[in-house]
Amino acid sequence: MTATQDEQRKESDMKNLALQKRELELNQRKQDFPALQQLIHGKPLVYLDSAASSQKPQVVLDALARYYSESHANVHRGVHTLSERATLAYEKTREHVRQFINAAQVQEIIFVSGATEAINVVARSYGDQFFQQEDEILLSMMEHHSNIVPWQQLCERTGARLRVIPLTAQGEIDQSAYPQLLTSRTKLLAITHASNVLGTINPIKEMTALAHAKNIPVLVDGAQAFGHLLLDVRDLDCDFYVLSSHKAYGPTGVGVLYGKKALLDKMPPYKGGGGMIETVSFDKTTYASLPYKFEAGTPNIADVVGFQATLEYLHEVGIGNIYEHEQNVLAYALEKLSVIPGLDLLGNAAHRLGVISFELENIHPHDLGTILDQEGIAIRVGHHCAMPLMEHLGVPATARASIGLYNTRADIDALVEGIHRAKRFFK
3-state secondary structure 315-335: HHHCHHHHHHHHHHHHHHHHH
Ranges of H-type helices in 216-318:
233-236, 261-266, 301-317
**Fold exhibited by the domain 21-55+319-426:** Aspartate Aminotransferase, domain 1 (3.90.1150)
Cα–Cα distance, 202 to 7 (Å, whole number): 39
Could you give the residue range(s) of every CATH 3.90.1150.10 domain in the chain?
21-55+319-426
CA angle 302, 314, 261 (to 5 degrees): 70
What 3-state DSSP class applies to 422?
helix
Please tell me the pTM assigned to this model: 0.94
Amino acid at residue number 338: S
Which pLDDT tens digits describe the chain residue by residue (427 residues)? 676 767 666 665 565 556 566 667 777 889 999 999 999 999 999 999 999 999 999 999 999 999 999 999 999 888 899 999 999 999 999 999 999 999 999 999 999 999 999 999 999 999 999 999 999 999 999 999 999 999 999 999 999 999 999 999 999 999 999 999 999 999 999 999 999 999 999 999 999 999 999 999 999 999 999 999 999 999 999 999 999 999 999 999 999 999 999 999 999 998 998 888 889 999 999 988 999 999 999 999 999 999 999 999 999 999 999 999 999 999 999 999 999 999 999 999 999 999 999 999 999 999 999 999 999 999 999 999 999 999 999 999 999 999 999 999 999 999 999 999 999 998 7
**Catalytic residue among 51, 122, 385, 386, which?**
385
Known catalytic residue at 155: no
Ranges of H-type helices in 110-162:
115-121, 128-130, 149-158
Q: Which of 323, 353, 340, 350 is nearest to 413 (CA)?
A: 340
How many helices (DSSP H) and strands (DSSP E) are in the chain? 14, 17
Cα–Cα distance, 86 to 165 (Å, whole number): 45
**CATH placement of domain 60-316:** 3.40.640.10
Could you give the residue range(s) of every CATH 3.40.640.10 domain in the chain?
60-316
What 3-state DSSP class applies to 88?
helix
Measured between its terminal Cα atoms, the distance across the chain in Å is 56
